[in-house]
Structure 1
Amino acid sequence: MNVIDRTIGVISPNAALKRQVARQKLSIMNSGYSHHGASRTKKSLLGWMFGGGSPKEDIEDNIQVLRERSRDLYMGTPIATSAIKTLRTNVVGGGLRLKSQIDYEFLGLSDEEAEKLETTIEREFSLWADSVNCDLARLNNFYELQQLIFLSSLMCGDAFALLPYTQRIGMPYDLRIQLIEADRVCDPYYKKGYNNISAGIECNDNGEITAYHIANFHPLSTYRSNSTWTRVEAFGEKTGRRNVIHIMESERIGQRRGVPILAPVIEALKQLGRYTEAELMAAVISGMFTVFIESKSNSEEAPLGSMIPEDEEVDGGDENSYELGNGAIVALGEGETAKETNPGRPNTAFDGFIASVCKQIGAALEIPHDLLLKQFNASYSASRAALLEAWKMFRMRRIWLSNDFCQPIYEEWLSEAVAKSRIYAPGFFDSPIIKKAYCNAEWSGPSQGQLDPVKEANAAVIRVENCFSTRAKETIELTGGDFVKNNRQRIKEEKMRQELLALNKKEVQL
């Protein structure tokens, strides 16, 4: 306090206090975001309880609760189930299919040689991928494993796959895929407190992931024979081989574990599920017609026609409980009166409210609400715009799945095929760039579909004729097919058709 303030304080303490308060207010008035989102004085923001931490505090310390709640929503809330299955169906569908794209110019191969080699690779890959022998558990083929690991990563935030080798009768390839649910990658009991292990993932001082700690049991299972962990190195120490495939969408730098896709909308989905159940129960109660009879006698005989079958009674043993039923007649004791209640169901505002909430949920999940609810009541332009926006996200996730799951497994399989001389690829193991030239591939999934097939087909023709696209690409986009195979089949069909026309013409002349 300066001399002037002290003098004023002696003469007028109230005035001195006001000067001090004003000075304090001036000290906290900054610029920029302090007037807006970072303000600590606005009444609209004073009640905002906020806080933040590193990816470990914000994500890894909360991941188990998020996983369990997300799985519970998937199993019991229709909108949550719709969101996850819509993603699964459009991104993976029946599985992403291999289309070998050898860099034949770099390898010095002709078009015919490259096409022959690509056909051989695809045929050999189908031998392995179409069989359940590619799965260590022998339950699913490669394409079914794609949808399973994608579905699991959406619900749990991430998922893992190991690539062991196991010999099996009748299968020339020994590579197997072992899927690991996210819960099993966790901190070992004997490693707790180690700074280099978090959420089951071990890193070195540079932040590089070096190993995964996988429990030999499911942490949520009530039946476990032992409680041991296996440490699996991320990459082979001598070969550099990828031992663990980790499917995860990152949202923070330094993040080690993924977040379930439903995490931002868990509360909204749960409340929406409760509201739906309450409305359904109210509608059921409103549809029941029950007659209550007040009796002034102490007769223990049931009134005429009263009958709720014992096997349908929920709490028949409770004397204080009266159950409603379809056309039931319930006797009341002396002095007891039943008043009519009308729940007013079905609620006319129910559908509009559900649609409004689903718009927000769909926006958070990047799924248009009409696609989320499977209701296409808008115009052609609006519906097409919604589908195009959704397919930006579907394609992005498809690229991630192909890059993080399909391509690494394909490269591992192709290495085994070349090593066993089932595929002839000179120089495959001599140089990484030669290996990459052989491993180039595209992964195609289900097509986008068309709201108006005629308009979509005409647009494809225009793009091809103006060299904006190719016939091969448009075939994949429109039908998910293969232009080369389609063209070869069309040639056969046209030849057969011409032969049939010639034969009919000859018969007419005779």
Structure 2
Amino acid sequence: MRAPALTRKRSLRMASALGRSMPSISRDAGRHRGTLSNYRPTRTTISHEAFERGTAQTRSEDLTANDWAAASVVDSMTVNTVGSGIKPQARVNWKRLGISQEAAKDLNEQMEWAWRLWSAEAHVSGKLHFDDLVFLGMRSLLRMGELVHLPLMLDDPGRTFSLAFQDVHPARLCTPSDRTMDTSLRDGVELSPIGRPLAYWIASPEPSRGVGLNQPFSLLGSAHFVRRPALTGHRPGVFHCFRAEEDEQVRGVPKLAPGMKLFRHLNDSFDYELMAQIVSASFPVFIATKDPQAVARQWAQPQPVEGEEDQRRYFQNLPPGTVAYGNPGEEPIPIESKRPGNNFTSFAELIMRSMAASVGMPYEVLAKDFSKTNYSSARAALLEAWRIFMLYRTWLVRHYCQPIWSMIQEEAWLRGIITLPQGAPDFYDAMAAYTNATWIGPARGYVDPVKEVVASTKALEARLTTYADVIAERGGDIEEVWDQREAEEARLRELDSKQQEIADV
């Protein structure tokens, strides 16, 4: 009877030994040895976080204003993401509201008309359309990493709606100097214990009193700030939008930040190479003397003896085409520029490809260079870029456009501009169903229109897509397109009928 017991004990010991974990292999990524011995990254402190972000945003602004490659990235992404505007299509959920499709269609038309009325007066200045606001917001998102827009209620005569928006430079969003020890404030954003934004502190200095003219906003006291609540009832009090790419992120990071060093250094390299070409093109010469003793005497006696005049000629500037004759014993030697080197073009292209990768764009889109592509490679590059454009467009619609659409429809209903169908629920009882909408941005464009149209036609025939999706890809609204086609076909039938009557006569 003891043998089985001993066997069980031995088995348990063996299992226990096998179950012990082996030490893991040492990974170079986590050790300070070899070529990584000096690679010791650190985390920034919360107090220094605002300084780093502000510096990155200022550098990004400078690059966008003065560097061609950075400007190309921001312009390309803005134009392709929002372009001339993003159009809403009202999609009232008639099934959940318990109304007919005809009633829903009529309500959709009312809502879209209300939106058109408001879009023309969207900005507080009365000069910017809603599409201009979206364009500004997208550029701010790329340059600064975030957009800050304030919804205001105006009572100006002549306005159809009270709601208007004021664009605010993100640099004005910061922590007052006398609130730096407040743990609930982080880089200008007042947070709840669970990290939800409660309010935003926006610098509003008084230039008439000389406040804030020659000092950063972060040095101002809270008396020169406006505290804007994050919510006013159920409506947003501040639109602070940024793409969160890190856990517990509170402020945005410029799109150019990962490749900022590449953008800056390549721009400097181009400047230096261009200057070398300018100097070479001006045909400069270096005067070499064959009388070293004269040079020695000049060093020993730099000033002419009293009564003697220096008859030597000196040339500091030579306008293009000038023939200058030197002094006796001097020989002109042209200065030749050997720059740029033979590998400069390929090296610059490699850097630009790295820059494009840092912002998630294909090289062809950043450099506007399709000289080395065929149809397949160009289409692949544009499709890759289009994924990024659609990512930003969807994000912008979700966090900016759709909330504003809901605010406008709410005010339109309160003002009686739109009328709910008889028997439909109250607006506030089914607000999400009433304010449902889809958004259409700029058309994608085609590398080869014939191939793209044939592909769309076959996809429709195979029922793999819808007419609405195909028309939306071209930047159109299916209702508007079909209404226009119906009108045109009716007009064509009318013209055909008149021609037939003339032929019969």
Q: TM-score if structure 2 supplies the norm length?
A: 0.84
The equivalent of 2:404 in structure 1 is 409
The equivalent of 1:422 in structure 2 is 417
Is 1:52 the equivalent of 2:43?
yes
The equivalent of 1:252 in structure 2 is 246
The equivalent of 2:77 in structure 1 is 87
- C-alpha deviation, 1:509, in angstroms: 3.8
Q: TM-score if structure 1 supplies the norm length?
A: 0.83
Match of 1:458 among 447, 454, 457: 454
- Structure-1 separation of matches of 2:470 and 2:97: 28
Match of 1:149 among 137, 142, 160: 137
Q: Which moved more, 1:487-496 or 1:387-396?
A: 487-496
- C-alpha deviation, 1:332, in angstroms: 5.5
Q: Secondary structure at the match of 1:202?
A: strand
- C-alpha deviation, 1:290, in angstroms: 4.6
- Structure-1 separation of matches of 2:216 and 2:353: 43
- Structure-2 separation of matches of 1:201 and 1:494: 57
Is 1:482 the equivalent of 2:477?
yes
- Structure-1 separation of matches of 2:394 and 2:94: 23
- Structure-1 separation of matches of 2:475 and 2:312: 72
Could you tell me whether the CA contact under 8 Å between 1:215 and 1:230 is conserved in 2? yes
**Cα pair distance change 1:30/1:324, threshold 3 Å:** farther
Is 1:233 the equivalent of 2:233?
no
- C-alpha deviation, 1:507, in angstroms: 2.5
Question: CA-to-partner distance for each residue in 1:472-507, whole Å, 9 max, x for gaps?
Answer: 111011x20122221221222222223323323333
Counterparts of 1:91-110 in structure 2, within 5 Å, are 91-110=81-100
- Structure-1 separation of matches of 2:216 and 2:255: 29
The equivalent of 1:121 in structure 2 is 111
Equivalent AA in structure 2 for residue 48 of structure 1:
Y
Equivalent AA in structure 1 for residue 479 of structure 2:
V
The equivalent of 1:138 in structure 2 is 126
- Structure-2 separation of matches of 1:408 and 1:449: 28
Equivalent AA in structure 1 for residue 254 of structure 2:
P
Equivalent AA in structure 2 for residue 279 of structure 1:
E
Is 1:36 the equivalent of 2:32?
no
Counterparts of 1:58-77 in structure 2, within 5 Å, are 59-77=49-67
Question: CA-to-partner distance for each residue in 1:203-259, whole Å, 9 max, x for gaps?
Answer: 1222221110011049985399996001111112xx232101111011211111110
Identity %: 28
**Structure 1 gap segments, 5+ residues each:** 1-28, 303-320
Equivalent AA in structure 1 for residue 418 of structure 2:
I
- C-alpha deviation, 1:427, in angstroms: 3.5
Could you tell me whether the CA contact under 8 Å between 1:91 and 1:394 is conserved in 2? yes
**Cα pair distance change 1:64/1:146, threshold 3 Å:** same
Equivalent AA in structure 2 for residue 383 of structure 1:
A
Count of aligned pairs between the two proteins:
454
Q: Which moved more, 1:86-95 or 1:416-425?
A: 416-425
Question: CA-to-partner distance for each residue in 1:281-323, whole Å, 9 max, x for gaps?
Answer: 1122222235677899944889xxxxxxxxxxxxxxxxxx933
**Cα pair distance change 1:324/1:136, threshold 3 Å:** farther
Q: Secondary structure at the match of 1:382?
A: helix
- Structure-2 separation of matches of 1:331 and 1:362: 51
Question: CA-to-partner distance for each residue in 1:181-205, whole Å, 9 max, x for gaps?
Answer: 1100101122121111111001122
**Structure 2 gap segments, 5+ residues each:** 1-21, 295-308
Q: Secondary structure at the match of 1:134?
A: coil
Question: CA-to-partner distance for each residue in 1:108-138, whole Å, 9 max, x for gaps?
Answer: 2222111111111111110110x2x321133
Q: Which has the higher contact order (CA 8 A, sep 6+)?
A: 2
**Cα pair distance change 1:191/1:332, threshold 3 Å:** farther
- C-alpha deviation, 1:429, in angstroms: 4.1
- C-alpha deviation, 1:334, in angstroms: 7.2
Q: Which moved more, 1:332-341 or 1:254-263?
A: 332-341
- Structure-2 separation of matches of 1:353 and 1:120: 57
